[in-house]
Chain A
Amino acid sequence: MSTDTLPAQAAATPAAASPGGRNTLRSRRRRDALRTLAFLSPWLIGCGVFFAYPLVSTVYFSFMKYDGLNPPEWRGLANWAYVFTDFPQFWPALRNTLWLCVVMVACRVLFGLGTGLLITKIKTGTGIFRTLFYLPYLAPPVAATLAFVFLLNPGTGPVNSLLEAAGLPAPSWFNDASWSKPALTVLAVWGVGDLMVIFMAALLDVPKEQYEAAALDGASPWQRFRHITLPTIAPIVLFAVVTGIIGAMQYYTQPIVASKVASGVMGGSGVTFVPGYPDDSTLTLPQLVQSLGFSQFNYGASCVVALVLFALSMAFTALLMRRRGGLIGPGDRP
């Protein structure tokens, strides 16, 4: 542990070992605790007010019938039963999430790894390529989604024009229930710059000597990738997969904007919009929290979905933080 400050301090002040030492040591401890508390205080307050209290409150409301106007009424497990058995959008949303976790995450990781690998091989104009590959990641999600609804629109969109010109089938993308998630996947793959940078850094860390030794032994490029590169970057791949799954469960802005814009519903105030267009195919859990709470004013059921989302997010976060083999554990090495 490199952040051990106490032994260093004790060594720096041998006077602490004198008869009065125990007293000063205790008062130092107290002062250190107060100091820590002072530095942490903004966050501790925030933790209580914006995390702990509302989380407890969400659990409380999940057992209540509450619409924000009439006083809350105890309902027991009725909200839970409603969400799991009678609420028609819960299971489609969960199925969509599973689809996104498998297909979208896989596409993003493969593409991120591929572009990362490509960048490390490119010898001319590396900086320009890297910037161009990275740029879409920065496009604000609402703007990027709007751009893709335009690019992929079935009537006049450039993508379908090009596909038809090439004699390929031109799907209706965001307007077709079986193509809306692939369309979102294209959008997600377009913004793969974050993974690319992470993979690139990891790939540059692979010791060069190992490649040279393998090349001397006559290993093919695939064998070198399979037996040298992949084992070294495996933790980063796992990191990308797990954070990707967490992101897929929390996927919100892109699907809601895409479905609103593609269905032609005007955004903004006073308009009721049923998310998931077309045919619930773009629903995700966070959208259900929003629509149950803020369009249907069924706060109880909304809180139930929120807690399901919480449990799933935390389960995968725990996977990230496992002590052994954990990926962003509280170790001291950055």
Chain B
Amino acid sequence: MTTLTATATTPAGRRARRKALLHWIAVHALGVAAALFFVLPFVFVFLTSLMSDQQALTRDLTPNSWHWENYVRVFETEGFLTWWRNSLLYAGLGTVLVVVSSVPVAYALAKFRFRGRHLSLLLVIAMMMLPPQVVIIPMYLFWAKQMDLSGTLWPLIVPMAFGDAFAVFLLRQFLLTIPDEYVEAARIDGCGELRTLLKVVVPMAKPGIAAVALFQFFFCWNDYFGPQIYASENPGAWTLSYGLESFKGAHHTDWNLTMAATVLVMAPVILVFFFAQKAFVEGVTLTGVKG
């Protein structure tokens, strides 16, 4: 590109500059087209959420009058606040438990040398790829019959105190990027392993931990299968992701209210993303890199 300005006065240079400009226009036009594809669904959903009940049944794309009270009506729907609270409980508690239980495991897999390390890592990856449905019958029987906890979210929250394969894998990938010298220096200074982990490794691993926490929060917030299996019998234990679908059932002609509820389920996730964009994108990249 720098050569362009130098030769811009010659005819050949002008042609090259025209070509570069056309290229710029083509690329950005394509970019705008793609952006429309990604953004318009949000726009249509949001616009519909502000329509009157009658207008939501028409083919209109924009509201004639703006009905912000639709959002109030959603909150007044029976159960909506409870689902909101349950989602926060599940996602908040789940995230804290997964981070606390996964960090030591990931640390051991990344920095200790022991027999079975290779096997442990294979097991982590296998568990990461395991769909929850594979073991759901025995798990359900365990929580419902032995523990008598069906109709609550505890069967989903308690296992998170025992580490999560995806979190362990992602954290391990991150911890590998921390040079061993730091860990060794702490050891030579007489730091115990736990103190080395808490005082040296964790502060350096903050971006990785933030990514894991975000992923876990989103996983819990979005989880549909778990609440469907364990909480479906008790609407008092439903989460937003599970309740949202029944919302459509109860308001089957009110697309405006359903879309308002949809916006309210999407909003927290998107807000969290804007505050933690860097950590999130970094995390996604980590999951995709070759080990």
Contacts and interface: CB of A to CB of B under 8 A. Distances in A.
Interface string B199-230: 00000000000000000001001101100110
Interface stretch (A17-25, A40-48, A96-104): A40-48
A35 interface: yes
A144 B244 CA distance: 11
Nearest to A159: B44
A54 B288 contact: no
Contact of B112 (A35, A45, A148, A261): A35
Interface string B30-47: 110011011101101100
Contacts of A274: none
Interface string B242-271: 101110111010010011001001100110
B159 interface: yes
Interface stretch (A172-180, A222-230, A299-307): A299-307
Contacts of A324: none
Contacts of A294: 140, 229
A42 B162 contact: yes
A63 B211 CA distance: 42
Contacts of A10: none
A293 B71 CA distance: 37
Contacts of A40: 104-105, 108-109, 120
B216 to A, nearest CB: 14
B37 A141 contact: no
A257 B259 contact: no
A158 interface: yes
Interface in A46-70: 46-47, 49-51, 53-55, 57-58, 61, 68
B233 to A, nearest CB: 5
A249 B133 CA distance: 11
Band of interface residues on A: 35 or more
B245 A261 contact: yes
Interface residues of B, number: 112
Give the dominant DSSP class at B's interface. Answer: helix
Interface string B126-154: 11011101111111111001000000000
A198 interface: yes
A43 B101 contact: yes
A3 B270 CA distance: 38
Contacts of B69: none
B27 interface: yes
Contacts, number: 320
B131 A286 contact: yes
Highest count of chain B CB atoms <10 Å: which of A202, A239, A328: A328
Contacts of A54: 135, 137-139, 142
Contact of A264 (B108, B252, B258): B252
A284 to B, nearest CB: 10
Nearest to A189: B37
Give the one of B218, B235, B266 with max A CB within 10 A.
Answer: B266
Contacts of A140: 218, 221-222, 240-241, 265-266, 269
B245 A151 contact: no
A147 B267 CA distance: 13
B187 to A, nearest CB: 8
A53 B41 CA distance: 44
Given A8-B184, A36-B108, A309 B133 contact: yes
A5 B45 CA distance: 55
A333 to B, nearest CB: 7
Interface in B108-133: 108-114, 117-118, 120-127, 129-131, 133
Contact of A306 (B137, B252, B277): B137
Given A50-B139, A310-B130, A332-B176, A201 B245 contact: no
Given A3-B111, A140-B266, A330-B122, 14 more contacts: A4-B113, A139-B266, A140-B269, A142-B222, A156-B255, A190-B41, A250-B133, A267-B242, A269-B234, A306-B137, A307-B134, A313-B129, A313-B134, A333-B176
